Structure 1
Amino acid sequence: MAHQESVAEPLLAEEERPRTPPPLAHPSFKKDLLTQAPKRNFTWRLAPWLVHLCIFLSYTLITLAIVRHALQSDASHHDRIKDTRPALPLPDREGLQWRSRRFPTNIVDNPLAGTPRPELESAWHDLLQNDNIRVPIGYLQEKNLKSVYTKDHTEGIVSLSVYHSLHCLKKIKHMMFKEHYYADRDEAAMAREWKHADHCVEYIRESLMCQPDLALVTFRWINDTAQHTAAPAEFYPTNFDVNAHRCADWEALDRWAGQRAFDLSRVDLLDRPRGD
């Protein structure tokens, strides 16, 4: 019994012992309780703006991706245009062959000079036979030019400006002998021919001034008699072009044009416009 009493006493003493209150919370805990609710409210107010920002960034990235794709496609298209160039490029002043020569300006025994005759007609025909040529459509696209196209739209028909100038010279030549070339023209038709010739004079003027020949033309004294018996006061200076000019190799240029020549009368090979 004594043992049982000794065991029970501690139990009673434990029950009667006053409970220790829990430790007080950290002072900042009260502050957190006061600020926690406002922070939650601020976060909820900020959420819609964050959503809009994400949407804006998404649209921006999509737009940049589209622009980048368009630029890459344009560059790829530009490369395809370049690939359409033929092995023989269009001639330019740097790519031409040049040589130095004097102008003979001979009108005697010259097939291109003189009065109308079969030899003259043949010479001018040969000079202009390569006036119209075919070029890859890529050239025209690069220069933003439009022309008449072949049926498959792979080539355009053009003419080098120098051939148009030669055509104009031929027209002026014909007007010099209009009774021969235009004998059957009525007044209205001749008015059109004169207008054409006037255009040609202006075109040649523009061409000469655009690509000026800077070779020097010298002068010499000459009188108006073959025997040179006139008095010294009657002598006058006249130009005497015996100096060398820097000239393109015409034969080489004409051969190049001949490789791409096109007979413009073959309209059956062209993509002709269709009526509505």
Structure 2
Amino acid sequence: MLSRPSGPQSPTEDESNVAFLQDNNDDEEFISKEKDFQPNTKPFYQRHLTAILVHTLIVLCYIVLGAGILLRYKGNCVPDFIPTPLQNAIHYKTDILATDDHEFGPPSPEIDAVWTNLLQYSNIRLSRDELSDDYRDNPALAEISDGSGIYGSIAVFHSVHCIKRLRYLLYADHYHANATERAMFELKRHGEHCLSYLLQSAKCNVDLTVFPMQWGEKTRIPFGIDQGHHQCKDWDRIQEWARERSFDIYEPGLLVHPNYGWAYSDGVDWVTGASLGDRLLADKVHNGH
């Protein structure tokens, strides 16, 4: 009977070769996996170029869309700024439009004094640089003879002047008692000009304050009474700005027409500032006539 060898037995040559081949295969697989997980050494922008381009395109689309919305909003809500030398004098306040009668009613010294106060600083000095491009190169501006500037005014004073003129026409028997037929004709034409100017000014400076109609006690027709607050420019600050530049246009020799001499040499009883059929001297200069 053969006895079984005791102790561990050494592998045969064939078995050793098989084990070696298996080890080699494992090493190659590990090396292959290592190669698969090697980090990409290309720059970030090259590895993600497509994603970067897509996101850049999206951002540009948002910028264009946002700019379009902003421009549309600006066009609807932010007016084009027209330069004015009064910019620093503009202050806003809320106010209720009072409709008392201290500016209106039958002629009286008290009411006349109110209108004198409203327009006392309406004639002002301006420099050419303070004018908008509409006027800056005009060759026929009314320059003050003492060299202190150009005779001008503020649009709101023109409106107040027009209201005053229309009030005078309501009481023509008092304010124009001695006017000739020709003078009254021109004054009425001036009144029509004032109505047109006031209408255009109201349409330009559109007051968007809304107010409701209300029932009265004695009539069945609703009342349209505006009792709400409005956003207003502070009138007193505008007056103060104008006061510092105001001057007396009736001072002899201060306003001299290039062809006719002192502007107010014939008095100012009913002078309107324009005559029928007249035209601006600048128009003549531009047309070469």
Normalising by the residue count of structure 2, what TM-score does the alignment of the two structures yield? 0.56
2:137: which partner in 1?
A: 144
Contact 1:134/1:156 (<8 A) preserved: yes
One-letter code aligned to 1:258 = R
Distance 2:109 2:89 in 1: 36
2:224: which partner in 1?
A: 239
Q: Secondary structure at the match of 1:192?
A: helix
2:203: which partner in 1?
A: 209
Contact 2:121/2:246 (<8 A) preserved: yes
Tell me by how many angstroms 1:138 deviates: 2.2
Contact 2:126/2:152 (<8 A) preserved: yes
Structure 2: gaps spanning 5 or more residues:
1-83, 261-289
Q: Assess, with a 3 A threshold, how the Cα gap between structure 1 residues 141 and 179 changes in structure 2: closer, same or farther.
A: closer
Distance 1:121 1:150 in 2: 28
Tell me by how many angstroms 1:262 deviates: 1.7
1:125 to 107, 116, 125: 116
Matches within 5 A, 1:181-220: 181-220=175-214
CA RMSD across the alignment: 2.2
- Indicate whether 1:252 and 2:246 are aligned: no
Q: Secondary structure at the match of 2:207?
A: coil
Q: Deviations over 1:23-59 (max 9, x none)?
A: xxxxxxxxxxxxxxxxxxxxxxxxxxxxxxxxxxxxx
Contact 1:157/1:262 (<8 A) preserved: no
2:105: which partner in 1?
A: 114
Distance 1:127 1:121 in 2: 10
Tell me by how many angstroms 1:153 deviates: 4.1
Contact 1:102/1:242 (<8 A) preserved: yes
Distance 2:112 2:132 in 1: 37
Structure 1: gaps spanning 5 or more residues:
1-88, 226-233
Matches within 5 A, 1:3-152: 90-92=85-87, 96-107=90-101, 110=102, 112-140=103-131, 143-145=136-138, 146-151=140-145
Contact 1:220/1:237 (<8 A) preserved: yes
Distance 2:233 2:85 in 1: 15
Q: Secondary structure at the match of 2:157?
A: helix
Q: Deviations over 1:94-130 (max 9, x none)?
A: 86100001112112xx2x1211010111110111011
Q: What is the total number of aligned residue pairs between the two structures?
A: 174
Tell me by how many angstroms 1:212 deviates: 1.2
1:70: which partner in 2?
A: none
1:159 to 149, 153, 156: 153
Tell me by how many angstroms 1:271 deviates: 5.4
One-letter code aligned to 1:124 = W
Distance 2:93 2:132 in 1: 33
Matches within 5 A, 1:214-229: 214-222=208-216, 225=218
Distance 2:108 2:171 in 1: 11
Q: Deviations over 1:147-189 (max 9, x none)?
A: 2112354511111011011000000001111111112223222
Distance 1:269 1:187 in 2: 31
2:248: which partner in 1?
A: 263
Contact 2:89/2:237 (<8 A) preserved: no
Determine which structure has more spread, i.e. the larger CA radius of gyration: 1
One-letter code aligned to 2:122 = D
Contact 1:153/1:271 (<8 A) preserved: no
Give aligned-pair identity as a percent: 29
Contact 2:125/2:148 (<8 A) preserved: no
Distance 1:260 1:95 in 2: 13
